[in-house]
Chain A
């Protein structure tokens, strides 16, 4: 438990400003204080929450926001699939509880750990502590952002909306690790730009679906030179 908390420290530093900006920006939407805190506590997914904010600001229909949330969070399937073998022997209640806190960060912290900790069977405690650290940090920094929003005055005047895009860029770039990802990025950008007038931000979904498929296609077309392809399930080769 202590080891996970120690390992989580850099994540506290990285997550806090993101939560702060989320809390700040959220007060320009209809979420209000309670809705914002509830979203951080129960959805607990930075990327999806930020995207929800920008969709709310564009007065997007709620069902489309939920659908976008689903698509954006589909990557959790990958984390779940990768962690499942390690927590398989736990009771279902335990598994359900651990699943709730599964995030990019706790996955990244835990996935390397599990292979080593498996021998002692303490890996799930590590995952629990990582989850708890990230949950606490995300909720506290969101609350702090809400508090600060009262001091900032008219947030629109500060153009904090750019902070949203800066955060996205900061989260996006580390994901771009190979040429296929660059292809996905290009397709996403072009389609999103062309489809930006579609109602209800449907252009975003269309662009994301087409771009992920383009990335995969590129991967398959160029994989001949490298027949073993890429190992699946593992992200982040080094940290």
Chain B
């Protein structure tokens, strides 16, 4: 069964997430974020996703590996190209997984 710390983790995650959703609605028009702050917030998803993807795919074993045997890096590159051309999340996931498995099958 789910342990107590995990229940606490989920509750805390739910709480901070709800806080981000409700805060601005609750504050209504009483406070307006300056333009630069809103713009800063717009970069957060891009920044966070990239910060996860890059080390995970370029250094899957902990050290930077750009050789052909690093399937993560090459499949991620193909994935990014498909995402860029199609702008379609599902197509990206399917193409990325297909590329990854193909590379693994080719490279052993």
Contact = CB atoms under 8 A, between A and B. Distances in A.
Contact of B17 (A30, A43, A78, A212): A43
A232 B35 contact: yes
Contact of B55 (A30, A181, A192, A211): A192
A216 B34 CA distance: 13
B3 A30 contact: yes
A99 B100 contact: no
B38 A208 contact: no
Interface string A173-205: 111100011001101110111001100000110
Contacts of B24: 76-81, 84
Nearest to A52: B13
Interface in B42-68: 42-59, 62, 64
Contact of A188 (B13, B47, B97): B47
The secondary structure that dominates the A interface is helix
Most buried by A among B18, B75, B84, B95: B18
A77 B80 CA distance: 28
Nearest to B88: A170
B51 to A, nearest CB: 4
B79 A169 contact: yes
Given A43-B13, A66-B12, A207 B93 contact: no
Interface residues of B, number: 76
Contacts of A184: 43, 46-47, 50
B17 A45 contact: yes
Given A172-B49, A196-B59, A219-B39, A166 B90 contact: no
Contacts of B56: 54, 165
A: contact size bracket: 35 or more
B96 A162 contact: yes
Contacts of B58: 193
A86 to B, nearest CB: 10
A233 interface: yes
Contact of B25 (A62, A80, A209): A80
Nearest to A62: B9
A65 B33 CA distance: 26
A159 interface: yes
19 contacts: A34-B2, A35-B2, A42-B10, A42-B11, A48-B17, A62-B12, A73-B21, A74-B20, A78-B42, A87-B25, A166-B93, A169-B53, A172-B49, A188-B50, A208-B51, A212-B43, A215-B43, A229-B35, A232-B39
Interface of A: 13-14, 17-18, 21, 30-32, 34-35, 38-39, 42-45, 47-48, 51-52, 54, 62, 65-66, 68-81, 83-85, 87-88, 95-96, 98-100, 102, 159, 162-163, 165-176, 180-181, 184-185, 187-189, 191-193, 196-197, 203-204, 207-213, 215-216, 219-220, 229-230, 232-233, 235
Given A208-B51, A215-B40, 8 more contacts: A43-B13, A165-B96, A166-B75, A188-B50, A192-B51, A208-B44, A208-B48, A220-B36
Interface of B: 1-3, 5-14, 16-29, 32-33, 35-36, 38-59, 62, 64, 71-72, 75-76, 79-80, 83-84, 87-93, 95-97, 100-101, 104
The 4 closest A-B pairs by CB, nearest first: A166-B96, A80-B24, A170-B92, A211-B47
